[in-house]
A and B are shown apart, each in its own frame.
Chain A
Amino acid sequence: MSHNTLRREIVKMVVHGQNGHIPSAFSIVDIVEALYDKHLNVRSDDPDWADRDYFLLSKGHGCVALYAVLHQHGFLTDADLELFCKKGGILGEHPDMTKVPGAEASSGSLGHGLPFGAGIALGLQIQKKPNRIFVLCGDGECHEGTIWETAHVARNCLLGNLCVIVDWNQSGQQLLPIDDLPAKWSAFGWKTMVVNGHCQNELHEAIESHEFHTNGVPLAIIAQTVKGKGVPMLEGHGPWHHRIPNTDELAIIEKALQ
């Protein structure tokens, strides 16, 4: 599917629901699509299938991207998207795993998805199961102490079935400029790779080059991304983080996504 198709779906949801974080979703949508298109062994007709791979969106505020991809892959219906942030719907501004088919974590408060995912990885290691766990974190989220607690624990527990993908769109560096994420993950002993987070081939190559193993080295993919990628008006760290476009702005966005 064209990347612009998913981006148009994201904008449509946000405008209709009058809620959502468009730039954060545009930052990660290529990553999420790449995972579901090529790597995650999941079943939309059986979201809790025991042999599935796990994808945890730890930066839950980017969830409209996840919803668009879950819709694309048959986990969600048109009606589900129509009710985004509406009474009676199952989709909110952060994913609720007890409501959303295919959502593996109820994220929103930052710093929870990775340790929760590490627990899933440890549980699968204990049960000697080959399922893989992918956790997508934000670079600002990497300010949270639990990220580094988990980095430390996961390496020592040899959670080689765990992959963290960091959406490195420089949000964190707006606040704390000294932020060499590849060096940090490397220092914790993770196999660390830097890719262009909007180039799905680079993501595919990084994931395929790694041997996932229940007793191995965990993988950190530092994905260089652009917040708001795809629409110049939205790109960067300005006022668009949680802004809903008006009619005129929507026309500009739609033109950019044609």
Chain B
Amino acid sequence: MSAVSEQIETPKVDANIRLQFAETMLSVGQADPQLVVMVGDISHFALQPFAEACPGRYYNIGICEPTSVSMAAGLSRVGLYPVFHTIAPFIIERSFEQIKLDFCYQKLGGNLVTVGSAFDYSNLGVTHHCYDDFALLKTLPNTEIFHPASAAEFDSLFRQSYRNDKLSLFRIPGKPHGLAINPDKIVAGTAIRIESGSNLTIVATGTQLASALGALVQLRASGWDPEILYIHTIQPLDIAGIRESVSKTGRVLVIEEHMENGGLGDSVLRGVHDLRPFQFASISIPNEFVTGYGSYEEHCETLGLTSAGILRTVEIEFDLP
């Protein structure tokens, strides 16, 4: 890992992560002449400061995502550090073979920055949803998957990782989790212990950290002493940190805005499967399309991706010691 420029100031906890992406590109791009940004006709205006400050290194390629991914790999082949940014399904699903072959098989590093993952674009429907990105990228060697749910995390994780030889996915959620995290604790591949506890581990990623925090008071009132582990790096996953916690608590609940198959829950279960006895539960998106309409919050409500969903699941799935 390498960082050619240092983070200047910690963004506010509710700062828009997508706008932070543009600010980070500007800051890193001014320090590193090898950074090149390509977009699929989104965030074009937000990235104009980068385009003006880094002439010849910004390309709004248009609506041709597979070719854009291949071209980004070509940039990497000649020693540049490419960033390709557009809506999640059009990179991860439509261009999966280009990621697999042109980056991963050829052992080239690069950076994919997505918005519109899970059901963030709730009313745009299934064509604009992407809740399989963890699962798909996990099948590919030489990949990293980051899920920064605060502007500070995006900035820090990008600077830590963008120049390495991995294909790095940065999944930007539409809504930050809202918690201020000590910048020193934001380390790629390392879980962050938000709360210490003794009899229940809650593993939360993305915006769902807010749901975990929101459930704390009532969980404690019910006799639980929860430990919250926040995961901003899905791959490589901090298995050691999760095992340490589950060894202590004997119970683990995973909450994520990803489909059940291949998500964080699967990885956690694989990582702790030999720590018997323990109890496991997960709150995720069922292995079905989300075809209903409504806001992001309403989708979360429907799927149990809320503090209330955590309380309900804990009551049903776990035995209070």
Which A residues contact B (CB, under 8 angstroms)?
Answer: 97-98, 104-106, 109, 112, 115-124, 126-127, 145-146, 149-150, 152-153, 157
Query: Chain A contact residues: over half helix, strand or loop, or mixed?
Result: helix
* A106-B105, A152-B64, A153-B67 known; A116+B56 contact, CB < 8 A: no
Q: Quote the shortest CB–CB distance from A214 to chain B (angstroms).
A: 11
The reply to whether the CB of B123 lies closer than 8 angstroms to some CB of chain A is no
User: In the complex where A116-B77, A149-B64, A149-B67 touch, is A126 in contact with B36 (Cβ < 8 A)?
Assistant: yes
CB nearest neighbor in B for A157? B59
Q: Does B102 contact A (CB under 8 A)?
A: yes
B285 interfacial contact with A, CB 8 Å: no
Q: Are A149 and B66 in contact, with the CB atoms below 8 A?
A: yes
Number of A-B residue pairs having CB atoms within 8 Å of each other in the complex: 88
Q: How far apart are the CA atoms of A119 and B59 in the complex, in Å? A: 12
* Contact status A127-B71, CB under 8 Å: no
Inter-chain contacts of B67 with A (CB < 8 A): 115, 118, 146, 149-150, 153
8 residue pairs, one from A and one from B, having the closest CB atoms: A119-B74, A115-B70, A119-B71, A123-B78, A149-B64, A149-B67, A120-B74, A115-B67
Bound-state Cα–Cα, A219 to B175, Å:
46
Interface pair A115/B74, CB less than 8 Å apart: yes
Contact indicator B101/A122 (Cβ below 8 Å):
no
Which residues of A sit under 8 angstroms from B62, Cβ to Cβ? 152-153
- CB-based contact B105/A123 at 8 Å: no
Q: How far is the CB of B35 from chain A (nearest CB, A)?
A: 11
Q: Does any Cβ of A come within 8 Å of B195's Cβ? A: no
Residue pair B66, A106 in contact (C-beta under 8 Å): no
A112 touches B70 (CB 8 A): yes
What separation, in Å, do the CA atoms of A18 and B49 have in the docked complex?
57
Across the interface, name the chain B residue whose C-beta is closest to A98.
B107
B73 at the interface (CB under 8 A from A): yes
Residues on the A chain within 8 Å of B242, using CB: none
Q: Is B10 interfacial (CB 8 A cutoff)? A: no
Interface hits, B45-101 → A, CB 8 Å: 56-57, 59, 61-62, 64, 66-67, 70-80, 82, 97-98, 101
CB pair B66–A146 under 8 Å, yes or no, is: yes
The answer to whether A98 and B80 touch across the interface, beta carbons within 8 angstroms, is no
Query: For residue A98, which residues in chain B have a CB less than 8 angstroms away from its CB?
Result: 105-107
